[in-house]
Amino acid sequence: MRNILIKISYDGSYFHGWQIQENAHTVQEEFQSALYKIIGEKADIKACSRTDSGVHANVFCISVKTESKITPERLKGALNHFFPLYMACLSAEEVPLDFHARYSCKGKEYVYLIHNREVRDPFLKGRALHFYHKIDVEKLNKAASYYIGTHDFTSFCTQDLRKMEDMRRTVFDAKVTREGDMVKFTVSADGFLYNMVRIMVGTLIRVQEGKLKPEDIPQILEKKDRAFAGPTAPPEGLYLNKVFY
């Protein structure tokens, strides 16, 4: 038995998230289909995270346990042969048998892109949020700095039918930068709650609109109530950017 760490990237606008669903096109379905064509067995696969419909990945990690003797380099090439054009295998490497793409993860980095120009760019449809009012990057960067540290992020989590867990997360870094018309929110943490990054972005947008002040962020965290944070930003601007092991 071998364990292979595979890193892929994909355009999330073509998928309804990672996990296989009935009547929905998912990343897992596409990945498993390509892998089976190559190794001819239903391998034990583990993903680094669950992703929502429309969310993209610059890097997404999958560990695969298999008895196949294919070399990692040949596996990489074969996956790229069978993958659709909106999905790519970046690398493949052997890892210890106890390595787990999700549970061995020490943290992740996400990027959210906001196209900040009066007129929308049709070529960015599905790949960045369009916001036509001028964004004050310095103001939003100050607001983002309050996310850094270990906090209970209940206010920044969409509540659903999933079992409640420890809502504390440690954010290593959070910043807002600009490159031309593109404003980028970059955040890294030891883990993220459901919709946490998108709610962080929605809250920053509320700060930009003057409905919240940067200094309101600590109070929102203390409330531990989703109603006090901003809206959940659309998925199209969100990218899983790095996975730390």
Provide the Cα torsion 136, 132, 218, 227; round to 10°. 170
Q: Measuring CA to CA, how many Å separate 217 from each of 142, 154, 220, 228? A: 10, 13, 5, 10
Taking the C-alpha atoms of residue 118 and residue 121, their distance in angstroms, rounded to an integer, is 10
Find, among 118, 113, 141, the residue nearest to 129 by Cα. 113
Residue with tokens 């073509």: 14
Q: Measuring CA to CA, how many Å separate 218 from each of 186, 228, 239? A: 19, 11, 25
How many other C-beta atoms are found inside a 10 Å radius of the C-beta of residue 122? 7
11 included as an active-site residue:
no
Taking the C-alpha atoms of residue 115 and residue 129, their distance in angstroms, rounded to an integer, is 6
Q: Which of 11, 44, 52, 121 is catalytic?
A: 52
116 in Cβ contact with 134 (< 8 Å): yes
CA angle 85, 236, 78 (to 5 degrees): 20
Collapsing DSSP to helix, strand or coil, 112 comes out as strand
Residue with tokens 């930068």: 177
Residues identified as active-site = 52
